[in-house]
Amino acid sequence: MELEGKVSLVTGASRGIGKAIALKLAGLGCKVAVNYVAIEAGNKADSDSVVQVIKHQGGEAMAIEADIRNSEEVRSMVEQIIGVWGKIDILVNNAGITRDNLLLRMSEEAWDDVIATNLRGAYLCTKFTLRSMIRQKSGRIISIASIAGVMGNVGQTNYAASKAGVIAFTKSVAREVGSRNITANAVAPGFIKTKMTEGLPDEIKKNILSMVSLRRFGEPEDVAELVAFLASDKAGYITGQVICIDGGVSM
Ligand code: NAP
């Protein structure tokens, strides 16, 4: 139980990559706050079921509703976790959205939504969690970026810019808090099988697959393994890095 006694907050953990991360951390003995946002009906049920699975396996978890775009909701979420478990050792900035379109057709709303969720959300969650980490002179901040933030992508100017922002944010946080024994790293997945990608047309999926050396799409669990490593003591000397997990994408 590598993460026994640790407390984590995973944003957007009701499904997809966040859910896989929550289950993996819990399996290593970590207490997990499973964040979700009740924008769509059913999301509360999803996060409740993640909590139930963790509890069924003997772990500790709580579901917490908070829209990560909203400062007051994030502040209150962090206070609730610290109120119950006393601290937050591991923050996983996972929640994210896409609103794809070619730049000339991209609405200001689609631009603002994506930046607010993916970049402002990571800023707010990190800011409010950091105080607890600084107090205990240890912590792990792991933010889910994307290879789109490293290499760019057609139809994703908003998303790629938000993820490039997350990468630069991570590198800067790593510099600011390294002296407090807190690490900050970004994980940049390629194409992972989740609700976010399931709706893409087959033609696009075929094109993406032809660029992946391993000739398969990733599973949420592939990403969760890397996050668990970065959260562990074994990764204590890694900070300010962007680690791609994309099956070997070449363009
Ligand atoms: P997903 O299946 O669509 O899940 C996204 C999660 O984010 C959901 O749990 C959703 O919560 C949550 N979320 C969205 N807006 C939120 C908000 N304002 N406040 C709190 N939670 C919010 O997506 P995914 O594929 O697992 O993606 C997870 C992360 O990996 C994202 O940051 C994404 O950009 C990144 N990523 C994914 C891929 C991929 O191929 N799938 C590739 C690279 C990077 P609700 O269910 O409550 O709405």
- pLDDT of residue 123 exceeding 70, the answer is yes
Ligand 1 close to Cβ of residue 43 (< 6 A): yes
Check pLDDT > 70 for residue 41.
Answer: no
Mean pLDDT of the chain: 96
pTM for this predicted structure: 0.97
Atom in ligand 1 nearest the alpha carbon of residue 44: 47
Tell me which residue has its CA closest to atom 32 in ligand 1. Answer: 96
pLDDT at 148 over 70: yes
pLDDT for 42 equals 67
Ligand 1 centroid from CA 37, angstroms: 11
Domains defined for the chain, CATH in brackets = 7-245 (3.40.50.720)
Nearest residue by C-alpha to atom 6 in ligand 1: 12
Residue 38: its pLDDT value, please? 78
Asked if 78 contacts 56 with a C-beta cutoff of 8 angstroms, the reply is: no
Asked if residues 78 and 128 have their Cβ atoms less than 8 Å apart, the reply is yes
Residues making up the chain, counted from first to last: 251
pLDDT for 241: 98
**For range 44-54, the mean pLDDT:** 91
CA of 97 to the centre of ligand 1 (A): 5
Q: Residue 210 C-alpha to ligand 1 middle, in angstroms? A: 25
Question: How far is the centre of ligand 1, averaged over its atoms, from the C-alpha of 132 (Å)?
Answer: 25
Alpha-carbon gap, residue 40 to 44, rounded angstroms: 9
In this prediction, residue 75 carries a pLDDT of 98
The two beta strands, 90-93 and 7-10, are parallel
**Going by C-beta distance under 8 Å and a sequence separation of 6 or more, which residues neighbour residue 2?**
28, 29, 228, 232, 233, 234
Residue 43: which pLDDT band, with cuts at 50, 70 and 90?
confident
Lowest mean pLDDT among 40-44, 51-55, 61-65, 105-109: 40-44
pLDDT in tens, 187-208: 999 999 999 999 889 998 999 9
Contact 44, 127 (CB under 8 A): no
User: Would you say residue 129 has pLDDT above 80?
Assistant: yes
- Rounded to an integer, the average pLDDT of 160-184 is 98
Give Cα 60 to chain centroid, integer Å.
20
pLDDT value at 90 more than 70 = yes
pLDDT higher than threshold 70 for residue 118: yes
Atom of ligand 1 nearest to the CA of 15: 9
Find the mean pLDDT for residues 6-28.
Answer: 97
Is the distance from the beta carbon of residue 143 to the nearest atom of ligand 1 less than 6 Å? no
Picking from 202, 159, 181, 183, the residue whose alpha carbon sits closest to that of residue 241 is 183
With 80 as the cut, is the pLDDT of residue 81 above it?
A: yes
Does ligand 1 lie within 6 Å of residue 116's CB atom?
no
Active-site amino acid positions: 159
10 lines ligand 1 (CB under 6 A): no
Q: What percent of the chain has pLDDT over 90?
A: 93
Counting ligand 1 atoms within 8 A of each CB, the residue from 10, 21, 71, 94 with the most, and so the one to mutate, is 94
State how far the Cα of 111 lies from the Cα of 154, in Å rounded to an integer.
14
pLDDT band at 128, cuts 50/70/90? very high
Ligand 1 near 221 CB (within 6 A):
no
User: In angstroms, what is the span from residue 248 Cα to ligand 1's centroid?
Assistant: 22
